[in-house]
Amino acid sequence: MRPVPAPVPAIEISSLTKRYGPTVGVERLDLTVAAGEVFGFLGPNGAGKTTTLRCLIGLLRPTEGQVRALGLDPVADHRRLAPALGYLPGELRLYPELTGHQTLRLLADLQGAPTPRRAELCERLALPDSVLGRTVREYSRGMKQKLGLVQALQHDPDLVVLDEPTEGLDPLVQETFFELLAEARAAGRTVLLSSHVLPEVQRTCGRVAIVRDGKLVTVESVAALREARARRIRLTFADGLGQRPLGEAERWSPRWDGDQVELLVPPRRVVDALRGLLALPVADLAVEEAGLEEAFLDLYRQADPGPPP
């Protein structure tokens, strides 16, 4: 019998610390993900994403703190959790001498659940019998990744944990993957997805957590990040005089290119900025939202203590 996800949060991590000897993987990390969320987990290399995911699925035992997946302890209750959990590791290790079919069957045995979605997923991810009958040794990287996705979803789990899922997938397969995520969301499944690919997170996730140096920097909705992102003001001067002082607007680090200048201004300061700038002989003007990427990079930087004074 499957554990019932509601009303407990699908993921509940409190004060999680994982040390590898002297190395800190994550430190006092708190995170709650409600059932039905598609949640992004972002952070630079070595930030602690994989460590957190491995603690969540019971592959690693926390040094301190508590982790609950679907209300269960991932280590102590592993057998009860396995049928309701799908996991795609970042570095997928498969037995090279097994065929694709054999691999999926073996992993289903470990999941301890029937696999109602296997055939449909293989078809949608373009893994025909001619491929599944071959040994994994002969698979390309993308084929292995597709097999990884099939095994993570084949038993239609309530909680899906994906570590860099689109690595190695071609754009067509990525589209299929995004469709699968949208369907998972519509069906009320919970997805935790770690990624470096910001547009992917923007497209698929409702909320994101950003980690850095083993610590949680922020948890935000993607909509809030979008709203908070800077506006890019682009001005063109037509007098051929090039770079000139911009008065008050100098604070927004103008970047010059001939007679054109760009400034990144916080959303609530745009009107102020324009008031000063339009006193200058401006020939053309554009204001647009800066990319979400810039909003994320800002958050990465906020967490960076920078060089010592």
Ligand X SMILES: Nc1ncnc2c1ncn2[C@@H]1O[C@H](COP(=O)(O)OP(=O)(O)OP(=O)(O)O)[C@@H](O)[C@H]1O
Residues that bind ligand X in the complex, under the rule CB under 6 A: 20, 23, 25, 43, 45-51, 90
Which string of b and e fits 47-65 if b means at least 16 CB within 10 Å?
bbbbbbbbbbbbebebeeb
CA distances from 283 to 235, 238, 240, 255, 298 (A): 8, 6, 11, 17, 31
Q: How many CB atoms lie within 10 A of CB 278?
A: 11
Nearer to ligand X (CB atom), residue 104 or residue 160:
160
Nearer to ligand X (CB atom), residue 209 or residue 273:
209
> Helix %, strand %, coil % for the chain, to 5?
35, 30, 35
Nearer to ligand X (CB atom), residue 155 or residue 212:
212
As measured in angstroms, the least distance from the Cβ of 77 to ligand X is 23
Say whether 216 sits in a helix, a strand or coil.
strand
Nearer to ligand X (CB atom), residue 3 or residue 89:
89
As measured in angstroms, the least distance from the Cβ of 62 to ligand X is 13
As measured in angstroms, the least distance from the Cβ of 42 to ligand X is 9
Nearer to ligand X (CB atom), residue 25 or residue 36:
25
As measured in angstroms, the least distance from the Cβ of 90 to ligand X is 6
Nearer to ligand X (CB atom), residue 25 or residue 100:
25
As measured in angstroms, the least distance from the Cβ of 18 to ligand X is 8
How many angstroms separate the CA atoms of 52 and 11, rounded? Answer: 11
As measured in angstroms, the least distance from the Cβ of 84 to ligand X is 24
Nearer to ligand X (CB atom), residue 20 or residue 256:
20
Q: How many CB atoms lie within 10 A of CB 302?
A: 12
Contacts of 8 (CB under 8 A, 6+ apart): 35, 68, 70, 71
As measured in angstroms, the least distance from the Cβ of 101 to ligand X is 30
Which string of b and e fits 221-244 if b means at least 16 CB within 10 Å?
ebeebeeebbbbbebebeeeeeee
Which tokens sit at 175?
Answer: 């589209």
Instruction: Tell me the residue length of the chain.
Output: 309
